[in-house]
Structure 1
Amino acid sequence: MNKIFTKIIFMLFVLLATGVGAYAQSIVVSGTVTDKATKEPIPGVSVTIKGKTVGSSTDAKGQFAFTTTEKPPFTLVVSYIGFTSVEKEVSGNAANLTFELESGAILGQEVVISASRTPERILESPVSVERISSAALKELPAPSFYDALNNLKGVEMSTQSLTFKSVNTRGFNANGNVRFNQYIDGMDNQAPGLNFSVGNIVGLSELDVDNVELLPGAASALYGAGGTNGTLLMTSKNPYQYQGASFQYKTGINHVNDNQTSQGIQEFKQLDVRMAKSWNNKFGFKTSFSFLQAKDWAATDTRNFDRVARQLKNGDRNSDPNYDGVNVYGDEISQNMINVSQSVQNQTIAGIATASGGLIPNIKNTMDGAFGAMGVPATGAPSAAQQAAFLAGLPAALRPAVQNYLPFYIGLRVPGLLPNQFVSRTGYAETDLVDYDTKSLKTSTSLHYKFNNTVEAIAQANWGTGTSVYTGTDRYSLRNFKIGQYKLELKGQDFFLRAYTTQERSGDAYNATILGTFINEAWKPSTTWFPQYIGNYIGARAGGQSDAAAHAFARSQADIGRLMPGTPGYETAKDAITSKTIGPANGAKFNDKTNLYHYEGMYNFSSLFNNVVEFQVGASYRDYFLHSDGTIFDDANRNITIDEYGAFAQLGKKFGDKFKMTVAGRYDKSKNFEGRLTPRVTGVWTVAPNNNIRASFQTGYRNPTTQDQYIDLAVGGGSTRLIGGLPESINKYNLNTNKAVTEASYRAFLASVAGGTPNPALLQAYTFDAKGLRPESVKSFEIGYKGLATKSLLIDAYAYYNIYKDFISGVNLYQNPTTTAVKFSVPVNVADQVKAYGAAIGLDYQVGKFNFNGNTSYNKLTDLPANFDNNFNTPEWRFNAGIGSREIVKNFGFNVQYRWQDAFLWNSTFATGNVPSYSTFDAQVNLKVPSVKSIVKLGGSNILNKYYTTSFGNPSVGALYYLSFTFNP
């Protein structure tokens, strides 16, 4: 494996050495861009060589300059949102050029790179692609550019907290989305211990975003494993084109009229700073800083949830003894009253037999005989006097144990007195367990050096830390969570070589569900609490109380002295548990120090073929070093590493002016799985100027995540164990020999127990696939149209059909179901194909000074395979519409976005339930102050303050109103 990779990299270095030598001759392109009407300079205008990525943007004085080895003649493209783009051929002198832009539509003229890893007009992209430019970023009505992704066509988001949102396209959304890749300046932004991006926690500061490109659907042929449902690429500003100092201060409020919590209106504040400088267009430096602080949204769903049937049920804590609130933790611990009573009886029999030296081998039989002699019927309850008489006849040393046993003896003796009922412990609300004081601090610093006019070296460090809340199988408080990304890169006009590492540190993060359970256990162990509850219940029922009254009395007695939130005892227990790690230490804290190391390179040979054909090759190698000390992975006593490598090639050819075809393929291999080939074929047909029909066949695949492979974690307060799907994990818990049963059959068995006639024949053993856990793959067919129906109307439409093979889902299994059942959740492949399809259409219309946009998307899962756990987690219909103006009157602009989505079923390992439909408005008005190069913006998200949830079990989201001041944006 390493030899193969070494050869690939060696070839790339040889090609690089050959290519660098060709970059000896260069020219400087420079000039000024002004507004034709006002004659004022326009900053931020894009100036590029047509068909290339080489270019620059204008500074505050409207000036630009860059170097290129492109031999004249070539064409410069000058474009800026709200103005008509200009093209000028450069055949001789390329210095001190002048351009004047007129207000007007430039729809469809933006250049994208992500779709083919080569520059092309977005109109000519062979696959669906969305783009947000740096100019558009300034006009967004959302609180951040990351939030604004939700307004793009076909995009949905799962909001787990104010700063943790998961982006997705084309179905199978998730709280931590492992089917969607996110890159920042070429670096995979995933947290390697989680295998998904933690929102934008270590992402870009808003001031440092140059552009964002989104590829819906599979892109593995160009970007490798993962991203079967989408790929997001964020690019930061470089210090050559964007120099100077900038800052932004944003303040606001949220939790307005929040009836779900008592915290009232809360402050939101954020500071962003960016500085950049270059010297002689050789050495460049930039740094950015962002700090956000706010009170997070709270998850307060107290509805009753059945974790075996995985659905909501009737009742609350007062009416259901086995109540388990969705966002209440610690109440997952549940025991059957009869089982507990029998356990107490068996322990008492054994204890008395030992204490009496064998003189009383079975205290129950002894009591049956004694009470029978007193005339008590075989199914009757002895009176208090009869009980006292029996106790008096026992040795004094044995009386306390028998006294404690008497209620259970009576409960099991008298028919109907002790119900076949599960009882749960009293839990704690999430608001008392997690840290809602949200913080996010992220920094990025990079050094740039140009060896010559087109070859550049970059050293970059991105680091972020934050406190947030994430929904996995449980709710996790990510307190002081940290990720660092560090990159070295050498790139030119036709190549790049890149090496980076991602360092994940869990900080003080902890499992809120385990915390609720362990606070209960620290105060009173369940081995004490349940017998106390049942003993008091039996006494109350024997005394003539109703079932409901007896349950209420039993809980009140068992909960005497319970640790209450806010009291010193509670806080002491909470601090002690969150400071100890999960596992043998009996804590709730994670200790994740997982690292990722990635190396890749690419060379574009197109210029060597005089651009008659486009030909690219690339290769990559990646290593995961898992390190959780047994708090997440099965690595308490060993080191776990996972290596992956791959290579790709792409060939494109344009046939005349009407048709372009591209063929690509990639081979990838992971340590634990067989290699995979992912081909891609695309075609673009120009049916009329600025009107193109595209068609593509793409394949994608993803390896089982690091957690799918090696997780070994107790969740649900310890009631469930998550384990990896590799054979070593299956064998560790003897699931091939002591087989567990399916969840459906276990439910049927419990129903028979509740009915009074237990039927073990209902239980069905589960047999794991002999092929073992395998990578998941998808075949994606897409057809689309993108074009200018008129100069002012852009239409973009697509339809897709996805076929998933070896879809990675999960099964819940129960080992030893007739005694003390142990629940396991294991990732497995679905045997049958999973199919989904959908379509979307977007319209952008510019008239006068107004920009109108609207889009709608449809996503549908076909007939479900047998035993498939439906986690499509996507509304069938979504709709977005907006209107804005960059400058409706001099220096004044606005933007309003409306969003609606249909109701849908959300299914995750945390909980399952319906998410209601909702609609929301985001809006902003802004005033530009050119004299001080500043913008003042007043805006808000969800401005009508209609609280909504995006996924079941997550918090309700209300309005966030803000005022910002930005200098030199």
Structure 2
Amino acid sequence: MNKSFTKIICMFFVLTATTVAAFAQSIAVSGTVTDKTTKEPIPGVSVTIKGKTIGNATNDKGQFSFSTTERVPFTIVVSYIGYVTMEREITSNATNLNFELETGVILGQEVVISASRTPERILESPVSIERIGAAALKELPAPSFYDALNNLKGVEMSTQSLTFKSVNTRGFNANGNTRFNQYIDGMDNQAPGLNFSVGNIVGLSDLDVDNVELLPGAASALYGAGGINGTLLMTSKNPYQYQGVSFQYKGGINHVDDNSTNQGIQEFKQFDLRLAKSWNNKFGIKTSFSFLQAKDWAAADTRNFDRTSRQLKAGDRSSDPNYDGINVYGDEISQNMINVAQSLNAGIIAGVNAASGGQIPNIQTSLNGAFSALGVGAGAAPSSAQQAAALGFFPAALRPTIQSYMPFYIGLRVPGLIPNQFVSRTGYAEHDLVDYDTKSLKTSTSLHYRFNNTIEAIAQANWGTGTSVYTGTDRYSLRNFSIGQYKLELKGQDFFVRGYTTQERSGDAYNATILGTFINEAWKPSGGLTGWYAQYIGNYIGARAGGQNDAAAQTFARSQADVGRFVPGSVGYETAKKAITEKTIGPQNGAKFNDKTNLFHYEGMYNFSNALNNVVDLQVGASYRDYFLHSDGTIFDDANRDISIGEFGAFVQLGKKLSDKFKMTVAGRYDKSKNFEGRLTPRVTGVYTVAPNNNLRISYQSGYRNPTAQDQYIDLAVGGGSTRLIGGLPESITKYGLNTNKGVLASSYKAFLASVASGAPNPALLTPYTFDEGGLRPESVQSFEFGYKGLATPRLLIDAYAYYNIYEDFIGGVDLYQNPTTTAVRFTVPVNIAGKVKSYGGAFGLDYQVGKWNWNGNASYNKIGNTPANFDNNFNTPEWRFNAGIGNREIAKNLGFNVQYRWQDEFLWNSTFARGIVPSYSTFDAQVNLKVPSVNSMIKLGGSNILNKYYATSFGNPQVGAIYYIGFTYNP
């Protein structure tokens, strides 16, 4: 780490000296851009040198300025969405330039950065890219800009709660998506202990977003590990172009006609504030604040789920003794009635032997003799009177213990009286365990100093906290969870050097599934002679002996075993809940996490293109990061040690325009992580101009992701303690003896249980699992893409692409059962799937503008190909998605509107939490806005899912209904 850090510091000084020297002979360009009709200044207008990366954008007063060493004469281009582009030749220093832009159709002229890490028109991007600019952000029909990502071509979301949504493209979606990277102002927005972004809980507020760029597909060659399915880059507004005070208040309602929690309509409210100021275009400061409060969506799927076969099954709590509701927790604890009776039988025999001083070595044998003396035949059930008489054969001091043992003795004495049936404990609904009082508070403050028009130093602090719900292997209540990101950066026209840290704090977050289990245990333990299962089986035997059938006896047994059970809201329940959520997972037998994982990241990049007179485009960059895991054993195997993970990477990209019509770019990146071999990820792209503003693109990209921190080091009991998640490194396999006392595959364990149920146990059905000798490896993908983007007419933009992905060493999970013939222990371990996994698809989009009217539509298709044997399909993506919208920025004076429609078909969702079909759904988002120029404000009335058709985006997550809101924004 020290050597890498030294290299980056040296790079910093070299870059600074080179760039400062380059400005010794510079030309200054400045001026103002206004609307030709209204004469009002236009902020955010792009002013760049034609064909170059040099330029700036206008501030809130429509002013711009920059310096360049470009040789005169050169041409500057002034462009902004919704206006006709203007050009002007510059022959010397040019100050106080005036540009009056006319409203007009401008499609495909937006400048993007992320596709090549250098500015270029979106039409000329070498790979697929989606963008939301400042103009569109103000009039989105979704409640927030982050929600609006769902309307972009090829994008899908998994909604786990109101504020926690996972973005994805091109398949293999997940609740916590480790295959999709998210950056805010250059900082990786992942929670370092989770290795994925927590939605926009710690992100930008709507008022502070300048633009959003999204790259579908692999981007490791430029951005490093992760992001093999997509990369999202969000850029905030700077204090030079966007000054002054802005605020927004949004109030609304949700849970309309929601039967999941029976709470009725709930209030939704949000307040945003942004302050920004600069002095002499040198020193600038900005701060933003956002606070949201609402009642969260409730996950309330009570369907019965078989966790061994991982599929839905018939029955509910009243008809299935082994019922396990998807969003009911505590019922994951399940025991076989015969096994429990035999275990209790063995324990009591030993206990009576000890209590009698060896006089009664085997109570079962003694009782057989007593009943034989009373004339009760072998295998027959003695009557109550005969049971009472049999007690007389024993010392008085032992009679209470023998009497409590009698039901199990009788159950095992009479063949078939105790069924070979698994029974689960009675669970609690999610809404009784999880904190649904959602809150989100996020702040961002940055200090900026410009040494000149192109070199800028930035100190930035982003911090957010909130209460939300997340779906992993269990459901987790993220209560008072927080993340802070703190950055120092020096950037110029051709370089940047930055360092930042991400500090994750779990706050009062807890595992809702474990909580449900431990509340049951706090009231009445599962095991022991006086435990819940002993009472259940004893009452079942009594009911059966009394003439009841199996179903009636099962119902009676549960009603008796549950007598006095803690009821949600009662003093006992709330006391137990409070105590358990305040104790950490592990030896304390609590449900709380104690995650204080940190990430430190350093990187730099230099663009040599201008130094080489733009003969070729050449960029080089390097990065180093460290993860410091700290969970005190509540998530990772770090109860008695410190764990860190170091990663290093470097890339180079070379681009050359080989003719007036064809540009080729080649890039490569090398990365090395602490526990894995280094790897190279190449990238080759080509853009061919078939006609002005019409381009074909072709690319080969490779991507990879290291196994996450959890894939490597997790050591966590889930499913109410019925399953243990462990890391895939050899040290974890050795710790639990899975390399010597091998676990068997879940499918074979299920077959073995079926043979036990049939009365003919067959251990030969069990299939042991052998781990790869080399251990867990990084996952990689090769991605091939062909696309077209162009203006069919000045008013019609067409964008289409097709892709084909080949994944190798795909990281999946394997469920193993250790000691399957006795007391089975279940483990879930990440492993690499042998063979190749292939997926393919494409998308087609149209944007059509006439005056201030805009129509848009897109369709995307994603499909997984043949998969290797034993591959647990977690493609988690609908084959077809469709979006369509219509809007007008000013249908009448100062009045605009926007409507967006979205549809997707049904698909199979598979995760470590649950597996099942997600039905197709369609939904409308809409807004109407009224601009009030006299007070520089906007009033917006809108809603998401305005028809209030509840839908789920992923299996086991909540149903999402409508949000209706009205908002007032000052200085939008």
What's the TM-score, normalizing by structure 2? 0.98
Task: Tell me which residue corresponds to 2:302.
Answer: 302
What residue identity is the alignment partner of 2:387? Q
- Mapped partners of 1:458, 1:423: distance in 2: 61
Task: Tell me which residue corresponds to 1:47.
Answer: 47
Aligned match for 1:557, one of 557, 560, 563: 560
Give the superposition deviation at 1:97: 1.4
Deviations 1:4-24 (A, max 9, x none): 664465356424422332123
- Tell me if the contact between 1:505 and 1:594 (Cα under 8 Å) persists in the aligned partners: yes
Task: Tell me which residue corresponds to 2:623.
Answer: 620
Aligned match for 2:922, one of 919, 931, 946: 919
Task: Tell me which residue corresponds to 1:341.
Answer: 341
Task: Tell me which residue corresponds to 1:424.
Answer: 424
- Mapped partners of 2:67, 2:268: distance in 1: 43
Cα 1:378/1:50, change in 2 over 3 Å: farther
Task: Tell me which residue corresponds to 2:245.
Answer: 245
What residue identity is the alignment partner of 1:831? A
- Tell me if the contact between 1:892 and 1:926 (Cα under 8 Å) persists in the aligned partners: yes
Deviations 1:172-225 (A, max 9, x none): 000000000000000000000000000011100111101000000000000000
Aligned match for 1:957, one of 957, 960, 963: 960
What residue identity is the alignment partner of 1:809? G
Task: Tell me which residue corresponds to 2:658.
Answer: 655
SS of equivalent residue, structure 1 residue 686: strand
Task: Tell me which residue corresponds to 1:781.
Answer: 784
- Mapped partners of 1:24, 1:384: distance in 2: 106
- Tell me if the contact between 1:741 and 1:763 (Cα under 8 Å) persists in the aligned partners: yes
SS of equivalent residue, structure 1 residue 709: helix
- Tell me if the contact between 1:221 and 1:648 (Cα under 8 Å) persists in the aligned partners: yes
Q: After the TM superposition, which of the residue ranges 657-666 and 33-42 deviates more from structure 2?
A: 33-42
- Tell me if the contact between 2:498 and 2:602 (Cα under 8 Å) persists in the aligned partners: yes
SS of equivalent residue, structure 2 residue 903: strand
Give the superposition deviation at 1:32: 2.5
What residue identity is the alignment partner of 1:925? V
- Mapped partners of 2:200, 2:75: distance in 1: 37
Alignment RMSD (CA, Å): 1.3
Cα 1:431/1:135, change in 2 over 3 Å: same
Q: Which runs of 4+ in 1 moved over 6 A?
A: none
Task: Tell me which residue corresponds to 1:893.
Answer: 896
SS of equivalent residue, structure 2 residue 749: helix
Cα 1:193/1:44, change in 2 over 3 Å: same
Task: Tell me which residue corresponds to 2:479.
Answer: 479
Task: Tell me which residue corresponds to 2:206.
Answer: 206
SS of equivalent residue, structure 2 residue 610: helix
Aligned match for 1:696, one of 686, 696, 699: 699
Give the superposition deviation at 1:72: 3.5
Task: Tell me which residue corresponds to 1:668.
Answer: 671
SS of equivalent residue, structure 1 residue 23: helix
Where do 1:101-250 residues align within 5 Å? 101-250=101-250
Are 2:945 and 1:942 aligned?
A: yes
Are 2:423 and 1:415 aligned?
A: no
Task: Tell me which residue corresponds to 1:685.
Answer: 688
Deviations 1:125-145 (A, max 9, x none): 000001100111011100000
Task: Tell me which residue corresponds to 2:441.
Answer: 441
Are 2:672 and 1:636 aligned?
A: no
Cα 1:69/1:889, change in 2 over 3 Å: farther
- Mapped partners of 2:53, 2:298: distance in 1: 45
Are 2:76 and 1:73 aligned?
A: no
- Tell me if the contact between 1:256 and 1:264 (Cα under 8 Å) persists in the aligned partners: yes
Deviations 1:524-545 (A, max 9, x none): 0001000000000000010001
Where do 1:789-868 residues align within 5 Å? 789-868=792-871
Give the superposition deviation at 1:156: 0.2
Give the superposition deviation at 1:492: 0.5
Where do 1:4-83 residues align within 5 Å? 6-7=6-7, 10-11=10-11, 13-83=13-83
Deviations 1:30-83 (A, max 9, x none): 222233334443344333333455444444543333444444333322222222
Task: Tell me which residue corresponds to 1:723.
Answer: 726
Give the superposition deviation at 1:864: 1.5
SS of equivalent residue, structure 2 residue 357: coil
Task: Tell me which residue corresponds to 1:573.
Answer: 576
Q: Gaps spanning 5+ residues in structure 1: where? A: none
What residue identity is the alignment partner of 2:355? A
- Mapped partners of 2:206, 2:304: distance in 1: 41
Are 2:532 and 1:529 aligned?
A: yes
SS of equivalent residue, structure 2 residue 94: coil
- Mapped partners of 2:837, 2:12: distance in 1: 39
Where do 1:386-535 residues align within 5 Å? 386-527=386-527, 528-535=531-538
- Mapped partners of 1:595, 1:111: distance in 2: 34
- Tell me if the contact between 2:42 and 2:62 (Cα under 8 Å) persists in the aligned partners: yes
What's the TM-score, normalizing by structure 1? 0.99
Give the superposition deviation at 1:384: 1.2
- Mapped partners of 1:592, 1:529: distance in 2: 33
Cα 1:56/1:18, change in 2 over 3 Å: closer
Give the superposition deviation at 1:372: 2.4
SS of equivalent residue, structure 1 residue 608: coil
Task: Tell me which residue corresponds to 1:713.
Answer: 716
- Mapped partners of 1:234, 1:69: distance in 2: 30
Query: Across the two proteins, how many residue pairs are aligned to each other?
Result: 969
SS of equivalent residue, structure 2 residue 213: strand
Deviations 1:851-874 (A, max 9, x none): 000000000000121000100000
- Mapped partners of 1:898, 1:212: distance in 2: 21
- Mapped partners of 2:540, 2:815: distance in 1: 32
- Mapped partners of 2:449, 2:38: distance in 1: 37
Give the superposition deviation at 1:247: 0.6
- Tell me if the contact between 1:693 and 1:784 (Cα under 8 Å) persists in the aligned partners: yes
Task: Tell me which residue corresponds to 1:753.
Answer: 756
Give the superposition deviation at 1:548: 1.2
- Mapped partners of 2:139, 2:70: distance in 1: 34
SS of equivalent residue, structure 1 residue 397: helix
- Tell me if the contact between 1:69 and 1:453 (Cα under 8 Å) persists in the aligned partners: no
Deviations 1:326-345 (A, max 9, x none): 00000000000000000110
Task: Tell me which residue corresponds to 2:606.
Answer: 603
- Mapped partners of 1:302, 1:737: distance in 2: 39
Cα 1:56/1:927, change in 2 over 3 Å: farther
- Mapped partners of 1:277, 1:197: distance in 2: 30
- Mapped partners of 1:871, 1:717: distance in 2: 23
- Mapped partners of 1:5, 1:666: distance in 2: 19
- Mapped partners of 1:185, 1:61: distance in 2: 23
SS of equivalent residue, structure 1 residue 96: strand
Cα 1:110/1:731, change in 2 over 3 Å: same
Cα 1:52/1:432, change in 2 over 3 Å: farther
Q: After the TM superposition, which of the residue ranges 32-41 and 547-556 deviates more from structure 2?
A: 32-41
- Mapped partners of 1:952, 1:59: distance in 2: 46
What residue identity is the alignment partner of 1:48? T
Give the superposition deviation at 1:444: 0.3
Deviations 1:133-160 (A, max 9, x none): 0111011100000000000000000000
Are 2:515 and 1:545 aligned?
A: no
SS of equivalent residue, structure 2 residue 556: helix
- Mapped partners of 1:50, 1:914: distance in 2: 52
SS of equivalent residue, structure 1 residue 946: coil
- Mapped partners of 1:262, 1:904: distance in 2: 29
- Mapped partners of 1:485, 1:4: distance in 2: 21
- Tell me if the contact between 1:69 and 1:454 (Cα under 8 Å) persists in the aligned partners: no
- Tell me if the contact between 1:129 and 1:216 (Cα under 8 Å) persists in the aligned partners: yes
Task: Tell me which residue corresponds to 1:320.
Answer: 320
Deviations 1:769-818 (A, max 9, x none): 11210000000000000000000000000000000010000100000011
Deviations 1:334-358 (A, max 9, x none): 0000000001100111111111111
- Tell me if the contact between 2:60 and 2:241 (Cα under 8 Å) persists in the aligned partners: no
Give the superposition deviation at 1:452: 2.3
SS of equivalent residue, structure 1 residue 77: strand
- Mapped partners of 1:84, 1:40: distance in 2: 16
Give the superposition deviation at 1:656: 2.2
- Tell me if the contact between 1:26 and 1:453 (Cα under 8 Å) persists in the aligned partners: no
